[in-house]
């Protein structure tokens, strides 16, 4: 795994198609809060949102774009910030034993080398909080999909 990528692997209980649809529905709600005209998500769907940066903790205008969407397999979007971009990916995987996982990752790319290096070092500490937050999010989606 790249040093600029954070990753979390979650073993889920819901039906894969239900969990995928729940994930897409939740992302759609998020996009609709910014632009109520959006009716469905597809590759290229884009919004502008006010988000707080991880590193400097200030609010910036960001562009979020759906980069890839493969039904029941993958949902990926990119957040472009003034200092760089974050590629966020939800991907479904089944191991050799048939155990199902939803893998979430964030690949962070910064516009200058200093910020990229700082993130690599801070990322080690941030990983603890990242894992806690992502686990809660995955459990929420799983529970919602089970219904």
Higher-pLDDT residue of 19, 60: 19
Average pLDDT of span 5-9: 89
Digit-coded pLDDT (tens) for 84-113: 898 999 999 999 999 999 999 998 887 776
What's the pLDDT at 123? 61
- Beta-bridge partners for 61: 50
How do the domains of the chain map onto residue ranges?
A: 9-96+103-146
The CATH classification number of 9-96+103-146 equals 3.30.530
Cβ neighbours of residue 44 under 8 Å, at least 6 residues apart?
65, 66
- Residue 98 main-chain phi, psi, to 5 deg: 90, 5
What's the pLDDT at 141? 97
* Helix, strand, coil percent values for the chain (each to nearest 5): 35, 40, 25
Average pLDDT of span 42-67: 86
Residue 19 above 60 pLDDT?
yes
What's the pLDDT at 58? 76
CA separation (Å) from 96 to 93, 99, 100, 101, 142?
10, 7, 10, 12, 22
Tokens 């974050």 belong to residue:
86
């Amino acid at each position: 795994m790249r040093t600029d990528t954070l990753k979390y692997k979650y073993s889920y209980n819901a039906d894969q198609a239900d969990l995928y649809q729940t994930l897409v529905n939740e992302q759609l709600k998020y996009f609709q809060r910014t632009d109520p005209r959006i009716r469905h998500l597809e590759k290229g769907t884009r919004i502008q949102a006010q988000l707080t940066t991880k590193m400097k903790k200030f609010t910036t205008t960001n562009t979020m774009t759906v980069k890839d969407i493969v039904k029941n397999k993958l949902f990926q979007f990119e957040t472009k910030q003034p200092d760089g971009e974050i590629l966020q990916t939800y991907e479904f995987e089944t191991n050799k034993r048939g155990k199902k996982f939803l893998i979430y990752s964030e690949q962070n790319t910064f516009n200058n080398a200093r910020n990229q290096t700082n993130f690599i070092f801070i990322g080690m500490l941030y990983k603890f909080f990242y894992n806690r937050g992502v686990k809660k999010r995955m459990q929420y989606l799983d529970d919602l999909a089970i219904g």
